Structure 1
Amino acid sequence: MIDSNNLESRIVEIYNLYYLDVYRFLVCFTGSQNDAEDLTQEVFIRVLKGLSNFNGNYNLKTWIFSIAKHVAIDHYRKKKFASLFKDSFFNQLLSSEKKPDEEFEEVELKRFIHEAIAKLKPNYRAVVILRGINEFSINETSEILQCSAAKVKVDYHRALKELKRKLNIEIEGVLTNAK
């Protein structure tokens, strides 16, 4: 339980500490910076509402990411996205020092990867984003997803296997069309 006298300063501290990580998670999950900004605000509104009742049984970071996961899934259910990842986000990640052909190859590779991630089941997609992109530990991921560490390991393994299969199909399709 957080002391109500210290609540305002604690909220500011939490916001400053976790905002960027939550925002990046939501950009990866939604593929939209605008949606991620809105959802990040929603996450911190929920954190604000629940912070006075936070009892410390969980790590604060995993509690916040659990809220972020629920907000993202609620958003996904409402929108029923056909594609969760957009190229505009990845164009910003490219280094300006690369040659045009290298940039094109990197954009294409990222597009293939994120289209394949977008086609994964939501629970596989979440574990790939948390473990593979955000680099959460198995225990942190299990707390966020509210499942056992064993399930995280199994889902991550299966998700990567499925991702590899999808990427092989995509790349073979591109090579076939290029002939």
Structure 2
Amino acid sequence: MESDDRIERWFQQYGNDVYNYIAYFTGRRDVEDLVQEVFTKALHALSGYEGRAQPKTWLLTIARHAAIDYMRKQKLMDWFPETVLGFLTSRERTPEKALVLKEQLQEVYQAMNQLKRTYREVLILRLIEGVSTVETAEILGWSEAKVSTTLHRGIKEMQKQMSKSSREVKLHDAIF
């Protein structure tokens, strides 16, 4: 319980600093979930905290990584077709919307099937299933750095595949 008490004290002392850091870093004010994530990660990592850095420094380092992960995910969400994400998460749709979404989803599936297995695994876990970097690393038996790098490369490759698919459709439509 001592670790819980320490995290609680640090939250009282440094919670606003962590909030402000993440808010400025992301450009958003609704970062309460990220702040909570930082302190949850800190609680889980507390046994590894050696006291070489001040608690605030250590917490802001965790906050930095959480904010970077958030920004990467947001960047991907901006790129990833919103309608496809809606299809994956929403069960409310009209038949017309369902048809369009099914076609878009099919395009995404085809593009994902062209990816290396490692890219596919990371994209599915991180983006579709919403699993954290830490959990993804644990599931795959990789380091967090490898998960992040593979995610970034997978996104780039997915973008190439989707762009290629889009060009092929336009060419096909122009011919016929």
TM-score between both structures, scaled by the size of structure 2: 0.46
Higher RCO, Cα 8 Å, sep 6+: 1
Max Rg structure: 2
